[in-house]
Structure 1
Amino acid sequence: MSADMMSMEGMPAMDMAMMQACMDACAACEQACTVCSTQMMDCAPACMNCADMCNTMMRSMMRMQGMTPAVMVAMLDACIAMCQMCMDECMEHADHSPVCKMCADACKACMDACSAVRSAMAMA
């Protein structure tokens, strides 16, 4: 197995660059959602929840011990769903709030990165 792949017992080998991209997207989304939640728009609760979910997803990916494929897929699905909800909420304000636009873009990037990891797991 090459150095750019990681495998844990019960988990398929994962591309480390893809995992890092997903963790980076989760971190960026968490930060954007945290900033957006301070704008006191209707999207603030969704942003706070999304920030928490992205933080949890990122920390889980960093600590892969005890993670099974089913648990990882469930975590990825939850993060994707939370980012979708937050993105939808923020897009309602994106035309008049650059912070909401930034948050929606970060949510989309996080969804894409989590989806890529999920797809890679399905193919492994």
Structure 2
Amino acid sequence: MSKDMMSMPGMESMDMAAMQACMDACSACEQACTVCAMEMMDCAPECMNCADMCNTMMRSMMRMKGMTPAVMMAMLDACVAMCQMCMDACMEMDDDVCRMCAQACKACMDACMAMRASMPATM
């Protein structure tokens, strides 16, 4: 087994590089959404919800014990959906902070989708 793969009951051969990239993107998105929400824009509720989801996703990935493949996929799907909602709301704003937030949301969505795609089909 390579150093980039992890084996655990129910989560055989997790791609650690994809997982780390996903955690990093979730962290960056959480920070960007928090900054955007603090600007008190009309998109603040979406940004705070997205920040919370990204934080939960990241913490769950760091605490893999007890995570099942079905739960991991559901969490990734929820994070993608929340990032999409936040990105859409921020794209409606004409503000540099909102554009930065939307870019972070897009990067997080891409990382979550890559993580999901890296999971073996048997999951």
Both structures adopt the same fold (TM-score exceeding 0.5): yes
In 2: Cα distance, 1:99 partner to 1:6 partner: 37
CA positional deviation for 1:122: 4.6
What is the DSSP-based 3-state SS (H/G/I as helix, E as strand, rest coil) of the residue aligned with 1:29?
helix
Aligned match of 2:74: 74
CA positional deviation for 1:17: 1.2
1:48-63 aligned within 5 A: 48-63=48-63
1:1-124 aligned within 5 A: 1-93=1-93, 96-123=94-121
In 1: Cα distance, 2:27 partner to 2:83 partner: 12
Normalised to the residue count of structure 1, the TM-score between the two structures is: 0.95
Unaligned stretches of 5+ residues in structure 2: none
In 1: Cα distance, 2:76 partner to 2:120 partner: 12
Q: Deviations over 1:60-86 (max 9, x none)?
A: 000100000000000000000000000
CA positional deviation for 1:41: 1.1
Q: Which amino acid aligns with 1:11?
A: M
Unaligned stretches of 5+ residues in structure 1: none
In 2: Cα distance, 1:66 partner to 1:105 partner: 32
Q: Which amino acid aligns with 2:34?
A: T
* Native 8 Å contact 2:15 2:119 kept in 1: no
What's the RMSD between the two structures over aligned residues? Answer: 1.0
Normalised to the residue count of structure 2, the TM-score between the two structures is: 0.96
CA positional deviation for 1:123: 3.7
In 2: Cα distance, 1:30 partner to 1:66 partner: 24
How many residues are treated as equivalent by the alignment? 122
In 2: Cα distance, 1:7 partner to 1:76 partner: 19
Identical-pair percentage: 78
In 1: Cα distance, 2:37 partner to 2:99 partner: 13
Q: Which amino acid aligns with 1:98?
A: D
